[in-house]
Amino acid sequence: MQNYKFLPYNKTLVSLARELRNNQTPAEIKFWLEILKDKRLASYKFSSQKPIDNFIMDFYCSSLRLVVEIDGKIHKAQKERDNERDEILKQKFGLKILRYKNEEVLEKPVFVIEDLIKYINTTPPSLPLSGEETPKSL
């Protein structure tokens, strides 16, 4: 893993990230609202459609160095590509990646939130990048 003060991003992705943020899927909208409503996650700030390197993350929490991806049907056909991307993010930047299916978010939001909280509380914290908060447990 290289030593980055801040996560690099491809500037050409900024406008696409903004467009994706304004046109989120129903599952992404629900996930965003559930995170914001859930008081147990209030101490963690998540960004939506965050450019990192040459990718755009559905959700990113800098204090946890955690990426959360909400996967629709297209991800069934691109598992290998997703795995490669996840590996790059882990190896190059030391990020953690969680993936949830659209159906899980839409039909079982309580499960998804509980799973996210469990993951946060049982995963050793990463050292934050310069300017990022130190992770704390929920």
pLDDT one-digit tens code per residue, 9-67? 889 999 999 999 999 999 999 998 887 666 667 678 888 999 999 999 999 988 889 99
Which domains does the chain show, CATH number per domain? 11-122 (3.40.960.10)
pLDDT one-digit tens code per residue, 85-137? 999 999 999 999 999 999 999 999 999 989 998 988 887 766 555 445 544 54
Residue written as tokens 């990113």? 60
Residue written as tokens 């953690």? 96
98 or 6: which leads in pLDDT: 98
State the pairing for strand pair 66-71/96-101. Answer: parallel
Q: Which helix (H) or strand (E) holds 62?
A: none
Q: How many residues does the chain have?
A: 138
- Residue 36 Cα distances to 15, 25, 26, 48, 118, angstroms: 24, 17, 15, 12, 17
